[in-house]
Amino acid sequence: MMAWLAMLIALAGIVFLALGVFWLIAPPLGAGVAALIVGGGLLGLILVCTLVAVIVGRLRARSKRLAPHRSTDNRIEEQLRPVIGDRATEWAKANSGIAVVGALSAGVIIAASPSMRRLVYDAARPIIARKALQAMQGLTEPRD
């Protein structure tokens, strides 16, 4: 939300600057010439901003290509292993199709049944509480 507010303020600032330049050069040059100059300046500003965005995007894409790639599977495995354990993680890795179908089926059942949602939430409450406490401790511990 703050980014949108900053963009709105920047746009209002550009509009007022353009209006000020127009009022400044309109009396000696005439309204038509002043409008052409201010409009051309704004289009030039848009062109410069677009070029900067394109250059930055290309540099980021190049740095992503050069950076070592971590597999999505490895990241998911790193996050799941502490929660469900080594044995269950290895099973899910070996039987990924069955795990996906099971997760999808469980999602449909949980979405359809309020009592099932409550049961799953009650079962997961200790894990959620432990993860929340770990996150809070990680935020409050002093860093080296």
Q: Where are the beta strands (DSSP E) in the chain?
A: none
Predicted local distance difference test score (pLDDT) of residue 5: 84
Same domain, 51 and 80: no
In terms of domains, do 60 and 81 share one?
Answer: no
What's the whole-model pTM score? 0.40
Measured between alpha carbons, how far is 38 from 18 in angstroms, rounded to an integer?
6
Q: What is the structure's pLDDT at 144?
A: 57
Tens digit of each residue's pLDDT (9 = 90 or more) over 16-60: 989 999 999 989 998 889 889 988 888 888 899 899 999 998 988
Q: Do residues 85 and 134 both lie within one domain?
A: yes
- Do 56 and 85 share a domain, yes or no? no
CA nearest to 38, candidates 60, 20, 54, 12: 20
Q: Among 14, 31, 66, which residue terminates a domain? A: 66
Q: Which domain holds residue 32?
A: 2-66
Which of these three, 13, 48, 66, is where a domain ends?
66
Per-residue pLDDT band at 11 (split at 50, 70, 90): confident
Q: Which of 43, 66, 89 is the last residue of a domain?
A: 66
pLDDT in tens, 56-111: 989 888 877 776 666 666 777 777 777 777 888 888 778 888 888 888 888 888 88
Q: At what angle do helices 114-140 and 96-112 cross, to 10 degrees?
A: 110
CA angle 85, 91, 97 (to 5 degrees): 130
